[in-house]
Chain A
Amino acid sequence: MAMPMESPVTFSNVGKSKWWQRGIFASQTGYVLLALAVLLVVMHFASPYFFTEGNMQNVAKNFSFVAIATLGVTFVIITGGIDLSVGSMMCFSAIITSMVMTELSTPGGLGASLFVHMAEDGKTVVANIPGLILLVSVLAGLVVALLVGLVNGFCIAMLGLSPFVTTLGMLSIVRGLCYVVTNGRGSFPGGPDADYFYALTSGDVLGLPVPFIYLVILALVMALVLHHTSFGRHVFALGGNEKAAELTGIPVVRVKIEVYVICALAAGLQGIIISGWLGSAPANMATSYELNVIAAAVIGGANLAGGIGGPLGAIVGCVLLEVIRNGLVLAQVSSYWQQALVGVIIILAVLVDRIRSRMI
């Protein structure tokens, strides 16, 4: 009665699509990458300064300053959600990190006795392993991000609130907290570990800016997680068909909370890195960065409807925006035009994708 595999499956009437209609070649990321390559060539001929080492380092550094957060928000966008609170989150983590660092480094400060003490000549001396203050303060910044991500995830996954509204509210709440804890003043990373802090956030290793190295590592990890773990598979399934994901027994609530936590952590880390580059964490830091971050993700091919996106797209989007910005500066175009042009590119990228998907 049973007749499995009597004849091997044949594909008589189902054609396999051509290589250029599959994978990256058929994705928005693919042709935005192509556009970027063309742009790089154009820039090379337009300005002799573009491909100089200094300028390349600048470009690499500048796009790394938003790209890590873009990786995080890409997770959320793949599930079909959105996180508008990343800009505020960057600022808040940076503030908490530098405040904790300063507090722990000041003798007499809260909990500082564990880390520093005053020497007889009035100088502050580290009482513990060097770098411990840095570790604790960065962890503090990230823990705050984790908590905010948990609240976002809880409201969206458990209470069923819309991601847009929840994170819009969180944008305001977190920014408000930034002003509350600093009283509107900036805070500065200080103390004996400040040098480590600057080295780890805005230094260079073998000529590469440190943030760029973090970015590459995180992007590789993200690619592995998205395409080779069941968590990544579930993230895509959630964006493709949330109801199906639920019916097949995927822990939808848990996955949703996890992506918002990942996003907040990425934003927090990004904020801490930016504060190292700025040398301070002002309460208005990274204002409206959420728009740059989301724009970069969308230009790179993440679909706001969910189900599509990846680390390569996120990075390509960030690089494209930065190269255009850099190009406009080199071409001595007024910087006021940048923002307008970014908007045009967002719409163009989505439009081209629309036309392409209609042609196939």
Chain B
Amino acid sequence: MASAETTPILELAGIGKEFGAIRALHDVDMQVRPGEVVGLMGDNGAGKSTLVKIIAGNFRPTHGEIRFGGNAVNFSRPVDARAVGIEVVYQDLALADNLTAAANVFLGRELKRKFGPVALLDHKAMASRALELFGELRSETRPDDLVKQMSGGQRQAVAIARTRLSNARLVMMDEPTAAISVRQVEQVLGLIHRLKEQGVAVMLISHRMPDVFAVCDRVVVMRRGEKRADKPIHETSPEEVTALITGAKEAA
């Protein structure tokens, strides 16, 4: 177990990205181990989302190498990243409101049953698998309820259940606690703990200091496209992280 946990699932080496003359990222090294929750912090424009988009396969890096599960990877589309086990939970959750929870979990990879030449949806199997996933996440979410009628926490559970479906090994969450109530923030942090318990690496992109300190093992601070700090959470403080984000402290 110890050796498995020390082998990083994701390794970034010297990642850089330029958009024309604009240098969005410069020489970023980073490692994420299985079952580890890493907080990625930084002000707007610090390069967080560019980094996430590179890992998720939306952009190709201009420089550097990405290794996933020990192998060098080269994504040209998000589908490629998903295929190796990288999932992103988007800020707006990317759910279709008019569909049920189960339909959203299985969107784009529906379970089907063959009836001669036609393949019809297997509603029962999808509902029961979705219920299982919600159970693992300990979320009170009915597979047959419409997402429209759900609370922010339940929606988050649906979005996260989707990543569990594919047995993702790295889940990146973009501002999961930005627009939900205090009680639901608790639920979402609980969901992150569930992922961690199951050995999934989580990268939490957030502006909310309390959430990062509540749930993360390590915090990475970005500023002006560079990594300025990478520290275990118990060796730092919200004050220090704030100073690093704003530039009051250059590096740590």
Contact = CB atoms under 8 A, between A and B. Distances in A.
A229 B141 CA distance: 24
A243 B99 CA distance: 14
Interface in B12-47: none
A133 B151 CA distance: 60
Interface of A: 1-5, 7-14, 16-17, 224, 227-230, 233-234, 236-237, 239-241, 243-245, 247-250, 307-308
A307 B94 contact: no
Given A9-B131, A9-B135, A250 B107 contact: yes
Given A10-B140, A229-B119, A17 B149 contact: yes
A11 B136 contact: no
Contacts, number: 99
A10 B90 CA distance: 27
A243 B94 contact: yes
Contacts of B135: 4-5, 8-9
B98 A247 contact: no
Contacts of B65: none
A14 B99 contact: no
Interface in B116-155: 118-121, 123, 131-132, 134-136, 138-142, 149, 154
Nearest to A307: B98
Contacts of B118: 229
A233 B142 contact: no
Contact of A237 (B107, B131, B132, B149): B107
Interface in B66-125: 78-79, 82, 88, 90, 92-99, 103, 107-110, 112, 118-121, 123
A14 B150 CA distance: 9
A230 B94 contact: no
B108 to A, nearest CB: 4
Interface in B176-205: 197-199
B108 A5 contact: no
Contacts of A237: 96, 99, 103, 107
B227 to A, nearest CB: 27
B229 to A, nearest CB: 29
Contacts of B99: 233, 236-237, 240
Nearest to A227: B121
Contacts of B112: 230
